Amino acid sequence: MQTTKRKNIANILIAFVLMLFIAMPASAQGIAEVWLGKATEKLQNKGTEISFRINEEGVRISGKLLMDGQKFIYDTEEMKIWYDGTTQWTLQMGSGYNELYINNPTPEEQQAINPYQLLSSYKDNFTATDGGEKNLNGKLAHMVKLQANDESAELGSINIYITNDGTLSLLELIAPDDRTYKIEVRSMRNGLTFPKDAFTYPAKDYPADEVIDLR
């Protein structure tokens, strides 16, 4: 259960950042869209590396997210995901035993595994509203709230905190039962260039004890 929950959080984080790559530009109508546009501009300059910390019911998980278009690497101590735009490798690690899952997700499967297709246009799935300025540990950030249009959605809402220069600062993921998961963006670098094979599973560096090929 814990692994599934953490994978869902990983999916949401990946999907949200992917979503910003095609969010409405800063000239869009509405304050909320303007702030999403500022965050988008930070991410649309070649590759991006985000260091984050997830606070999940008192448990803190640190990791990194590397992205270049739809390609990404999600990297924590317990789970690593590589996606090269076609094939996805998910390595689950624990107690000295590593399981590797391989698949070529269809658009429908991506909605459950890597919900890029589901969130690629936030206006189809969420309503964005302006939350105004907030104080985060002594620093000012602007809050945008995305409310799910579907009441049965797994994720009820996302609170997004964006600093004045457009940098993501904090994501609050709120489930319909009011459980809240916080993703703190500790650092973000953009304009990066990654090696051609960076988003392919490096078998030599991360050997698997069991390979489950779902292709």
The answer, yes or no, to whether residue 138 has pLDDT greater than 50, is yes
Given this model, what pLDDT does residue 26 score? 42
Q: Which residues contact 58 (CB under 8 A, 6 or more apart)?
A: none
The answer, yes or no, to whether residue 205 has pLDDT greater than 70, is yes
Q: Tens digit of pLDDT for each residue in 166-184?
A: 888 888 888 788 888 888 8
Q: Which of 146, 142, 141, 143 is nearest to 157 (CA)?
A: 146
Q: Which amino acid type is present at position 210? A: E
The answer, yes or no, to whether residue 15 has pLDDT greater than 80, is no
The answer, yes or no, to whether residue 101 has pLDDT greater than 90, is yes
User: Which of the two residues, 146 and 208, has the higher pLDDT score?
Assistant: 208
The strand order across the sheet containing 139-148 reads: 126-136, 139-148, 157-162, 168-174, 180-192, 47-56, 59-68, 71-76, 79-83, 88-94, 97-103, 210-213
The first and second tokens of residue 108, run together, are 């429908």
Are 144 and 160 in contact by the 8 Å Cβ rule? The answer is: yes
- The three-state secondary structure class of 174 is strand
Q: Which residues contact 152 (CB under 8 A, 6 or more apart)?
A: none
Into which CATH architecture does domain 2-213 fall?
Clam (2.50)
Given this model, what pLDDT does residue 113 score? 46
Dihedral angle of Cα 126, 127, 130, 131, to the nearest 10 degrees: -60
How sure is the predictor about 13, in pLDDT bands with cuts at 50, 70 and 90?
low
How sure is the predictor about 27, in pLDDT bands with cuts at 50, 70 and 90?
very low
Count of other CB atoms within 10 angstroms of residue 73: 23
Domain ranges of the chain: 2-213
Q: Which of 91, 35, 46 is nearest to 190 (CA)?
A: 46
The answer, yes or no, to whether residue 69 has pLDDT greater than 80, is no
